[in-house]
Amino acid sequence: MTVQYDGTNYHGWQEQPGQATVQGTLVECLATILRERPAVEGAGRTDAGVHALGQVAAFKTEHLILADRLWAAVNSRLPPDISVTDVREAPPGFRPSHYALSKHYRYRVYRSPLKPVFEGRYVWHWYQPLAVEPMREAARRLVGRHDFASFEGRGSAREDTVREILRLDIVEAGPELHFEVEGDRFLYRMVRNLVGTLTEVGRGHRPVEWVGQVLEAKDRMAAGPTAPPNGLVLVEVRYPPEWGG
């Protein structure tokens, strides 16, 4: 399944007892249709308040329902802030997180002294100017394979913090800046910490060279603040052709 959702009203993707989550909502919906409770695995565990345009999820079922029938049945039962855009039979052994080549995230920053009334749930409102070119120069220093320990959110227990960023582009779209980040894998809150660090350069509080020092420090305290979750969206998950890419 390819899934879109507005994460505002959910405590993230991962199912949690007593909390509204995207995974939990999908499981409950599928259980009603299939008369069995499938284990739904997602390509990534988005945090509370983070959105998705192209989350990928998979599950096994003994039910013989056709994909197009399942697609219609699921969408007729899901709440308005979750939509399944595609359902297909997956190759045997497919796991959406394990076989992903890369994930593409977009972070939206809205630059204006005026509050964005209609877009406020999906952007980080920035009242002050941000210098784009210094941020782009700093972003180029983050592209490639590095130890991103300085950009890992607290509370994660991962021993391996080496990741590869394939691209980190900053695109101007009217009053918005879009931070387009694609990588092989991501650490906990890594994209939001990258954006928060780059805005420190954009506002003139730090020089471009500081970003390299942050990487070398391998210490979360060396980096900038964590950008709020509402500006982040999982745009796409890419797979090899043999896994449906």
Question: What are the residue numbers of the active site?
Answer: 47
- Tell me the residue ranges of DSSP E strands in the chain: 2-5, 41-42, 51-58, 82-86, 102-111, 124-126, 144-147, 162-173, 176-183, 232-238
Query: DSSP letters of 166-231?
Result: EEEEEEEETTEEEEEEEES---TTHHHHHHHHHHHHHTTSS-TTHHHHHHHHT-GGGS-PPPPGGG
How many angstroms separate the CA atoms of 207 and 131, rounded?
Answer: 11
3-class SS of residue 238: strand
Q: How many CA atoms lie within 13 A of 183 on its CB side?
A: 23
The CA distance from 237 to 26, in Å, is 19
CB contact at 8 A, 103 and 237: yes
Pairing of strands 102-111, 176-183: antiparallel
Is residue 38 classed as helix, strand or coil in its secondary structure? coil
Rounded distance, CA 109 to CA 132, Å? 12
